[in-house]
């Protein structure tokens, strides 16, 4: 269900994460964006190339640091993101259909906490055991 909502995006779920991150505030640099979505810089460059080829994002020199490039979402990218989010909402509603609103809210909260922990773990070097 959810996978089919993002399958037409370059990079699938990764492309979706990039569009969400780029649409949600100040244009990040490519490096900051790679860190934010936990992608290797080289993988990020290829993904951004593919998203740019589909006219979903654009890149420009960062006015504060001309060596860096900012990533911006295009109008087509915003429209595509909105359609994808609507599709994901429908998929989520189907998946949670047997839960009442309280249980669905609790599940979302718990999954968000698990995702935040996973993100922190991915960004933190492993300690010696």
Q: What is the per-residue pLDDT for 129?
A: 47
| Contacts of the segment 63-67: beta carbons below 8 A, 24+ positions apart | 65/29
The tens place of each residue's pLDDT in the chain, 129 residues long, gives 667 888 889 999 999 999 999 998 888 899 999 988 888 899 999 999 999 999 999 999 988 888 889 999 999 999 999 999 999 999 999 999 999 999 999 999 999 899 888 877 776 656 544
DSSP E strands in the chain: the ranges are: 57-62, 65-73
Instruction: State if pTM tops 0.85.
Output: no
Please state the φ and ψ torsions of residue 128, each to the nearest 5 degrees: -65, 135
Q: Tell me the Ramachandran region of residue 28: left when phi exceeds 0, alpha when psi lies from -120 to 50, beta otherwise.
A: beta
Q: What is the per-residue pLDDT for 1?
A: 61
């Amino acid at each position: 269900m959810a996978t089919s909502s993002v399958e037409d995006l370059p990079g699938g779920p990764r492309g979706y994460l990039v569009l969400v991150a780029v649409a949600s505030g100040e244009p990040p640099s490519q490096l900051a964006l790679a860190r934010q979505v936990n992608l290797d810089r080289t993988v990020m460059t290829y993904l951004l190339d593919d998203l740019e080829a589909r006219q979903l994002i654009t890149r420009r020199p960062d006015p504060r640091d001309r060596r860096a490039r900012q990533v911006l979402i295009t109008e087509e990218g915003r429209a595509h993101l909105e359609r994808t989010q609507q599709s994901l909402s429908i998929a989520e509603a189907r998946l949670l259909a047997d839960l009442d609103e309280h249980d669905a809210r609790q599940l979302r909260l718990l999954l968000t906490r698990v995702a935040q922990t996973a993100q922190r773990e991915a960004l933190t070097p492993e300690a010696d055991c």
